[in-house]
A and B are shown apart, each in its own frame.
Chain A
């Protein structure tokens, strides 16, 4: 059996779903649990084809609730486990991921957003932002990377496993149907040759030593009898999350130095925004580009610094203001006006963004 799924590095041309399967292999994922739903199906298809070649496993479950809980189970057993879903499947996934938050389980979930609410379209949207960042009956103790292209889909899927196992918060890759189904080039690589050290998984139970004597006892709970006990545990979690947030948060930006208006977007829509901002700047329009890569936690410091000095944000998304709501909270108190270009469930082109900016700047 070949040891490494990818030797060295190579340029490939494939769909985003295939990219995720390769990245999960490269990241050392040991098992995928899943239930089919468009547009993420091919992640499962490629994984089931590739995994046996490298001694990895797959289990198809009866639904997404089960796929989520078995992913939790795989992680508890000390395995790098992941699942992938979309739309109504993501809705069901919130219940097990809420348990993952409660027990600080390093689950990895790949979401390929489709149209909503409900079954809606199997195609594309950015309407799963609220649910993926803040879903479940919890407090959003999770990490969400929103990718924009196939290279990032590969890079951040590998990173997601490391982030999850390092910080022990459920981690999500937020893609979409376009990224899932389109083909473009990228370089896939063995993480080793890029100096990426893979964080090792370890079992939660059966650690050496006597609990309470040689080491603190392992307590895996999602049920509490006393209010104060829950409160104490959560306070600890919030403190941990607050501490790691600046370390985890990522963004990209350009043209902020002289911008009067900054276009803010995430994921695949940021491709259109980047092209539009470049084109507008060439025409002399003082417009900038800001893109949070992590939607949870948001890059709050960079965002607030930008919001302090720029008069206007134009928030562009394929949803009715799901990113905008997160931004408004993060930039609360900053003197920035939030304008919008919302097209829920529909793709956004550079032409759309250019004409909206021109409408604003006159």
Chain B
């Protein structure tokens, strides 16, 4: 039996890493798979790096947190520094290519390092608000933990009430999901 996929998302408060983790976890649960999501919480949440630990598998998940992620996504300067410890020889390390001055901080032992222009793409092509959905697209493309269809359904479930008022938002979110997937597809 395959082991659960371990995903770690880290960013600044407001970048939406927790909501991405939650949406993916709920989508996996809807598929009938086992999912466990836990945020880091505590005083750190105010002014520190926000980290989401997410595991998805076919059997009940073990410990809620883990030492090494299968995929680690860092979305800010501080997040890169903070998440190095979760990177091992089998880890796919994804970070935003707009983060400057972190070349020395990038993990050296990762299986693969993928810089993606998620911040730029969301700002120029889409809307900064859907940045986290771009990231969600990147995560599901890189891990295959849920299907695109289920990802869309999960977004619909979470944001449907907003889409009803403004149907263009639906289009924007789904486009963001696709762009996120494309950004990773180009690199792997």
- Contact in complex: A182, B63 (CB < 8 Å): no
Say which residue of A121, A184, A268, A269 sits within 8 Å of B35 (CB atoms). Answer: A184
Contacts of B60 in A (CB 8 A): 149, 271
A181 within 8 A of B: yes
Contacts of A182 in B (CB 8 A): 36-38, 64
B12 within 8 A of A: no
Q: State the majority secondary structure of interface residues on A.
A: mixed
Task: List residues of A (314-362) whose CB comes within 8 Å of B's CBs.
Answer: 347-352
Q: Mark A52-88, 1 if CB is under 8 A from B, else 0.
A: 0000000000000000000000000000000000000
Task: List residues of B (12-33) whose CB comes within 8 Å of A's CBs.
Answer: 22, 25-26, 29
- Contact in complex: B25, A275 (CB < 8 Å): no
- Contact in complex: A183, B36 (CB < 8 Å): yes
Q: How far is the CB of B127 from chain A (nearest CB, A)?
A: 28
Tell me the complex Cα distance, A215–B125, Å: 81
B62 within 8 A of A: yes
Closest residue to B37 on the A side, CB-wise? A183
Contacts of B22 in A (CB 8 A): 183
Given contacts A13-B26, A121-B42, contact A184 B62 (CB under 8 A): no
Q: How far is the CB of A200 from chain B (nearest CB, A)?
A: 34
Question: Total number of A-B contacts with CB less than 8 angstroms?
Answer: 68
B11 within 8 A of A: no
Contacts of A198 in B (CB 8 A): none
Tell me the complex Cα distance, A271–B67, Å: 15
Contacts of A6 in B (CB 8 A): none
Say which residue of A184, A275, A349, A351 sits within 8 Å of B36 (CB atoms). Answer: A184
Tell me the complex Cα distance, A264–B109, Å: 34
Given contacts A122-B42, A122-B43, A185-B29, contact A349 B63 (CB under 8 A): yes
Contacts of A135 in B (CB 8 A): none
Number of interface residues of A (CB under 8 A): 26
Contacts of A122 in B (CB 8 A): 41-43
Task: List residues of A (124-167) whose CB comes within 8 Å of B's CBs.
Answer: 149
- Contact in complex: A272, B25 (CB < 8 Å): no
Tell me the complex Cα distance, A185–B60, Å: 9
Number of interface residues of B (CB under 8 A): 23
Tell me the complex Cα distance, A181–B37, Å: 9
B107 within 8 A of A: no
A123 within 8 A of B: yes
Tell me the complex Cα distance, A39–B41, Å: 9
Contacts of A272 in B (CB 8 A): 62-63
B187 within 8 A of A: no
Closest residue to A346 on the B side, CB-wise? B65
B61 within 8 A of A: yes
Tell me the complex Cα distance, A121–B39, Å: 15
Task: List residues of A (183-210) whose CB comes within 8 Å of B's CBs.
Answer: 183-185
Contacts of A268 in B (CB 8 A): 63-64
Given contacts A122-B41, A184-B35, contact A274 B62 (CB under 8 A): yes
B77 within 8 A of A: no
Task: List residues of B (33-70) whose CB comes within 8 Å of A's CBs.
Answer: 34-43, 60-68
Contacts of A33 in B (CB 8 A): none
Tell me the complex Cα distance, A350–B38, Å: 17
Closest residue to B26 on the A side, CB-wise? A13
A178 within 8 A of B: yes
- Contact in complex: A178, B41 (CB < 8 Å): no
Q: How far is the CB of A216 from chain B (nearest CB, A)?
A: 49
Tell me the complex Cα distance, A38–B22, Å: 21
Contacts of A352 in B (CB 8 A): 67
Q: How far is the CB of A283 from chain B (nearest CB, A)?
A: 14
Closest residue to B33 on the A side, CB-wise? A185
Tell me the complex Cα distance, A177–B34, Å: 20
- A183-B25, A352-B67 known, 18 other contacts, Cβ within 8 Å: A13-B25, A13-B26, A38-B41, A38-B42, A181-B38, A181-B39, A184-B34, A184-B35, A268-B63, A271-B61, A272-B62, A275-B63, A347-B64, A347-B65, A348-B63, A349-B62, A349-B63, A349-B65
12 A-B contacts (beta carbon < 8 Å):
A39-B41, A122-B41, A123-B42, A177-B41, A183-B35, A185-B35, A268-B63, A268-B64, A275-B63, A347-B65, A349-B63, A349-B67
Chain A residues within CB distance 8 Å of chain B: 13, 38-39, 121-123, 149, 177-178, 181-185, 268-269, 271-272, 274-275, 347-352
Which 9 A-B residue pairs are closest in the complex by CB-CB distance?
A275-B62, A182-B38, A272-B63, A13-B29, A184-B36, A349-B63, A178-B64, A271-B62, A347-B65
Chain B residues within CB distance 8 Å of chain A: 22, 25-26, 29, 34-43, 60-68
